[in-house]
Amino acid sequence: MRRRAVAVITGIASCALLLLLAACGTAAPPPPAAGGVPEPMPAGVEIGRPAALVGSTPLGGDCKALPDVAPTGPLPAPGHMPAGSTMAAIQQRGYLRVGVDQTTLFFGSRDSSGNLVGFDDAVAQQVAKAIFGDPSKIRYTVITSAERIPDVQHGLVDLVADNMTITCARLQLVAFSSDYYNAGMTILVSANSHVTSINQLGGQRVCAAAGTTSINKVGTFPQLIPVSVQNWTDCLVMLQKGQVAAISTDNSVLIGLHQQDPDTTMPKTAPFTCEPHGLAMSNAPQARDFVRFVNGVLEQMRTDGEWQRLYDYWVAPHLGPQKQPQPQYNKAVEQTCPWPR
Mean pLDDT rounded to a whole number for the chain? 85
pTM across the whole model: 0.82
CA-wise closest residue to 186 among 90, 115, 274: 274
pLDDT 10s digits, 25-42: 333 444 544 445 567 888
Give the C-alpha separation, 206 to 225, whole Å: 6
pLDDT score at 159: 97
Taking residues 152-163, what's their average pLDDT?
97
Examine the pLDDT at 311 and tell me if it is beyond 90: yes
pLDDT higher at 302 or 31 = 302
Q: Give the strand pairing for 103-104 and 108-110.
A: antiparallel
Tell me, what's the pLDDT at 337?
63
Q: Which pLDDT does position 291 carry in this prediction?
A: 96
For 118-129, how does the pLDDT look when each residue is reduced to its tens digit (9 = 90+)? 999 999 999 999
Q: What is the pLDDT of residues 168-211, one digit of tens each?
A: 889 989 999 999 999 999 999 999 999 999 999 999 999 999 98
Give the separation between CA 273 and CA 236, rounded to whole angstroms.
21
Residue-wise pLDDT tens digits, 243-264? 999 999 999 999 999 999 999 9
- Binning pLDDT at 50, 70 and 90, where does residue 324 land? confident
Question: Please, which pLDDT band fits residue 74 given cuts at 50, 70 and 90?
Answer: very high
Q: How confident is the model at residue 167 (pLDDT cuts 50, 70, 90)?
A: confident
Residue 3 has pLDDT above 60, yes or no: no
The pLDDT value recorded for residue 83 is: 98
pLDDT at position 9 is 36
Tally Cβ neighbours within 10 Å of residue 48: 13
Residue 136 makes CB contacts below 8 A (sequence gap 6+) with 125, 128
Rounded distance between C-alpha atoms, residue 339 and residue 268, angstroms? 12
Question: Residue 292 — pLDDT band, cuts 50, 70, 90?
Answer: very high
Taking the C-alpha atoms of residue 100 and residue 107, their distance in angstroms, rounded to an integer, is: 9
Please give the pLDDT value at position 339.
53
Candidates 217, 183, 220; CA nearest to 106 is 183
Architecture of domain 64-199+248-341: 3-Layer(aba) Sandwich (3.40)
Q: What angle in degrees, to the nearest 10, is found between the helix axes of 232-240 and 8-22?
A: 60
The answer to whether the CB of 98 falls within 8 A of the CB of 141 is yes
d(CA 161, CA 200): 33
Instruction: Give the pLDDT of residue 306.
Output: 97
> What's residue 22's pLDDT?
34
pLDDT at 2: 44
Radius of gyration of the chain from Cα atoms?
A: 20
Rounded CA gap, 329 and 180, in Å? 13
pLDDT band, residue 5 (cuts 50/70/90): very low
Taking the domains of the chain in order of start, what are their residue ranges?
Answer: 64-199+248-341
Residue range 280-298: mean pLDDT, rounded: 96
- 104 against 270, higher pLDDT: 104
Q: What percent of the chain has pLDDT over 90?
A: 68
pLDDT band at residue 336, thresholds of 50, 70 and 90? low
135-144 pLDDT per residue, tens: 999 999 999 9
Of 122-131, 222-231, 325-334, which range is least confident? Answer: 325-334
